[in-house]
Structure 1
């Protein structure tokens, strides 16, 4: 498997492993919120802005109207998937913090440089992450930081991101955060740390990162 693709898989695995179990249901107690995580609101406006960034990037990358319509059809669940990723980011951050895991800016830069070399440059990497994972260029470093946090968390636990011990840590963090998702966007599976109906291919592809570079899962 190509290294770039493997690196992107860590967080997707979390979503792709989703199955209906225990859900945290949203309600009208938080008007204007797409989700509440750890008492912090992810507002509908924030979600729409994030989705808008992806759509703008997709439109710029695919100037042909017909092809762009195909992209829209292929990413029809973008709003839900984006919210799911925004929630999952916070779950991973909490789990990493609980285990004393941190990531430096230098580590993120090293990983990005490695991936850019594999992708044929910065533009190539941005395009790959946009097309495969729905990550807008402005949030690429953010996503790479999360990838590293997930990998280092798994290493701290003596496992990898495909194993139950890793997902158990995410489920524990998810429970602590009392995630409340607006029903408009689905429900959250606490045990799987995923939106019940979500499918996120990018989590399974990343398994471990060592020395600033991606390693297989």
Structure 2
């Protein structure tokens, strides 16, 4: 995955790449869980609640059904993207803890004030974050903390969020925690620190069978 794209996904809490070091989670092992990160369970209900927050914000931000339908279509992978962000948040927290990095409430407020000035006010910033990153207003401060945490971690490592050293630290934190995704949401790539779609060999099998029948 391109480094710039991966950095954008980190800061906005989104997705996906392919790689060899994958872990899987079975429904029987973690019933009701969308993912297990270390000792923490992200339940399907929690994931659905987060997705509903975004959909509700999108609904209130547009004036008619057509605009809302367009917004939904543009965020068709919202559930998987949201789960990626929820997992990545915990991975980043572990990496920050390992490096002794903390983010204060004052730092978040200062960052928000600067962004609001650029966006023409609080509402402008909330709309921009919703449209660009799929972050609802009530999660804005949480997302800003994520961004600050990533920047400060990179600084502590003597690098920036686009460099391999930063992603290596996240990969190591991901390995330490152990990330298991419910297969319905894919798998977790430890090396690339992201969710990947689960393989679907049955698609190839059905396609091959159909080809043989028509031959």
Q: TM-score, normalised by structure 1?
A: 0.84
In the alignment, is residue 196 of structure 1 matched against residue 202 of structure 2? no
| Equivalent residue number for residue 8 of structure 2 | 9
| Equivalent residue number for residue 158 of structure 2 | 158
Task: Please tell me whether the aligned partners of residues 37 and 90 of structure 1 are also in contact (alpha carbons under 8 angstroms).
Answer: yes
Task: Please tell me whether the aligned partners of residues 11 and 146 of structure 2 are also in contact (alpha carbons under 8 angstroms).
Answer: no
Task: Please tell me whether the aligned partners of residues 13 and 86 of structure 2 are also in contact (alpha carbons under 8 angstroms).
Answer: no
Task: Please tell me whether the aligned partners of residues 10 and 147 of structure 1 are also in contact (alpha carbons under 8 angstroms).
Answer: no
CA distance in structure 2 between the partners assigned to 1:141 and 1:14 by the alignment = 13
In the alignment, is residue 87 of structure 1 matched against residue 90 of structure 2? no
| Equivalent residue number for residue 215 of structure 1 | none
Task: Please tell me whether the aligned partners of residues 33 and 43 of structure 2 are also in contact (alpha carbons under 8 angstroms).
Answer: yes
Larger radius of gyration: 2
Name the SS for the 2:25 alignment partner: coil
Aligned residues: 192
Name the SS for the 2:70 alignment partner: helix
Flag the 1:17–1:182 CA change in 2: closer, same or farther, 3 A: closer
CA distance in structure 2 between the partners assigned to 1:110 and 1:43 by the alignment = 33
Equivalent residue runs for 1:3-82 within 5 Å: 9=8, 11-12=10-11, 18-28=17-27, 29-82=29-82
CA distance in structure 1 between the partners assigned to 2:46 and 2:155 by the alignment = 32
CA distance in structure 1 between the partners assigned to 2:8 and 2:76 by the alignment = 21
| Equivalent residue number for residue 181 of structure 1 | 181
In the alignment, is residue 99 of structure 1 matched against residue 73 of structure 2? no
> Which runs of 5 or more residues in structure 1 are unaligned?
1-7, 198-217
Name the SS for the 1:188 alignment partner: strand
Task: Please tell me whether the aligned partners of residues 92 and 150 of structure 2 are also in contact (alpha carbons under 8 angstroms).
Answer: yes
Higher helix share: 2
CA distance in structure 2 between the partners assigned to 1:14 and 1:83 by the alignment = 8
CA distance in structure 2 between the partners assigned to 1:146 and 1:188 by the alignment = 20
CA distance in structure 1 between the partners assigned to 2:196 and 2:125 by the alignment = 29
**C-alpha RMSD of the superposition:** 2.0
| Equivalent residue number for residue 142 of structure 1 | 142
Name the SS for the 1:191 alignment partner: coil
Deviation at 1:20, TM superposition (A): 2.4
> Which runs of 5 or more residues in structure 2 are unaligned?
1-6, 198-215
Task: Please tell me whether the aligned partners of residues 111 and 144 of structure 2 are also in contact (alpha carbons under 8 angstroms).
Answer: yes
| Equivalent residue number for residue 5 of structure 1 | none
Task: Please tell me whether the aligned partners of residues 48 and 79 of structure 1 are also in contact (alpha carbons under 8 angstroms).
Answer: yes
Structure number with higher relative contact order (C-alpha < 8 Å, ≥ 6 residues apart): 1
